[in-house]
Amino acid sequence: MTLDDFALAIQTDYMALRKDVATGFDHIQKEMATKEDIRQIRAETGIGFRNLGADMKMVTDAMVSKSDLANTLAEELAKSPYARQIADLQTRVNILESKLGTKPTRRAA
């Protein structure tokens, strides 16, 4: 094989490779989404995120915080028929503690 034959073989391979690359790029461009397809996908994604935001707001609004739960519990206990007895017992314990000179004990909320 001479140098000219070797150069001709390289040139032939190069031209074939160039043709294959151009064909591949044409194929990729045909399969790629058009700008309208991309806009539609973005719009659908935006709708999904807007719905996600609304769902998260609904869940957050429905969650009960600890302070809300404590307030609700206190209100319900106040409605209890035994609420007056509990208040009377707390008053009696406070009076006894003050007479004995002891510090008030810790009580549940």
Do 51 and 27 reside in the same domain of the chain? no
Do 107 and 71 reside in the same domain of the chain? yes
Do 75 and 87 reside in the same domain of the chain? yes
State the residue range of the domain holding 97: 66-109
Do 57 and 74 reside in the same domain of the chain? no
Do 42 and 15 reside in the same domain of the chain? no
Alpha-carbon span 91 to 107, nearest angstrom: 13
Residue with tokens 């609420």: 83
Residue 92: pLDDT band (50, 70, 90) is very high
| Stronger pLDDT, 33 or 12, i.e. the higher one | 12
Calculate mean pLDDT across residues 47-76: 76
Beta carbons of 72 and 66 less than 8 angstroms apart: no
Do 6 and 20 reside in the same domain of the chain? yes
Do 23 and 52 reside in the same domain of the chain? no
Beta carbons of 70 and 109 less than 8 angstroms apart: yes
Mean pLDDT of the chain: 79
pLDDT at 106: 63
Query: Residue 109: is its pLDDT beyond 50?
Result: no
Query: Residue 40: is its pLDDT beyond 70?
Result: yes
pLDDT at 24: 82
Calculate mean pLDDT across residues 79-92: 86
Query: Residue 103: is its pLDDT beyond 80?
Result: no
Query: Residue 11: is its pLDDT beyond 70?
Result: yes
Do 13 and 47 reside in the same domain of the chain? no
Q: How many domains does the chain have?
A: 3
